[in-house]
Amino acid sequence: MLLSLGYIFLFGMTSAWIAQKCKLPRIIGMLLCGILIGPYMLGLLDEKTLLISQEIRKMALVVILVKAGLTLNISDLKKVGRPAILMSFVPATAEFLAYRFLAPGLLGVTGAQAAVMGAVLAAVSPAVVVPRMVHLLEEKRGTNHQIPQMILAGASLDDIYVIVLFSTFLTMAQGGSASFGEFLRIPSSILLGILLGVVCGWGLMLFFGWFEKKETIRDSYKVIITLGLAFVMLAVETWLEPYVAVSGLLAIVTMACVIRIKDVTMSDRLASRYGKLWLACEILLFVLVGAAVDIRFTMMAGPKAIVMILVALVVRSFGVVLCVTGTQLNKKERLYCVLAYLPKATVQAAIGSVPMAMGLPGGEMILSVAVLGILITAPLGAILMDYTETRLLEKE
| Structure confidence at residue 186 (pLDDT) | 65
CA angle 90/92/96 to nearest 5° reads: 115
**How much is the pLDDT for 318?**
95
The one-letter amino acid at 231: F
> Which H, E and C letters describe 208-266, residue by residue?
HHHHCCCCCCCHHHHHHHHHHHHHHHHHHHHHHCCCCCCCHHHHHHHHHHHHHHHCHHH
What pLDDT does 76 receive? 59
Phi and psi, residue 259, nearest 5°: -60, -45
- The C-alpha atoms of residue 154 and residue 190 are separated, in whole angstroms, by 12
Q: 395 forms bridges with which residues in the sheet?
A: 141
Rounded Cα distance, 195 and 209, in Å: 21
Q: Which residues of the chain have pLDDT under 50?
A: none
Handedness of CA 93, 94, 100, 106 (dihedral sign): negative
Task: Find, among 36, 120, 68, the residue nearest to 312 by Cα.
Answer: 120
Q: Which residue, among 279, 326, 378, has the nearest Cα to 25 in the 3D structure?
A: 378
Q: What is the pTM of this model?
A: 0.72
Which pLDDT does position 54 carry in this prediction? 74
Residue 104's identity, in one-letter code, is P
Residue 240, number of CB atoms within 10 A of its CB: 14
The SS3 assignment for 141 reads strand
pLDDT of residue 21: 85
pLDDT at 77: 59
Model pLDDT, residue 78: 65
Reduce the DSSP state of residue 43 to 3 states and report it: coil
Helices and strands in the chain, H and E counts: 20, 0
- So what's the pLDDT on residue 73? 65
How many Å separate Cα 5 from the centre of its chain? 23
pLDDT computed for residue 131 by the predictor: 83
Q: What angle do CA 395, 133, 314 make, to 5 degrees?
A: 100
What's the CA gap between 376 and 349, in Å, rounded? Answer: 13
DSSP 3-state of 130: helix
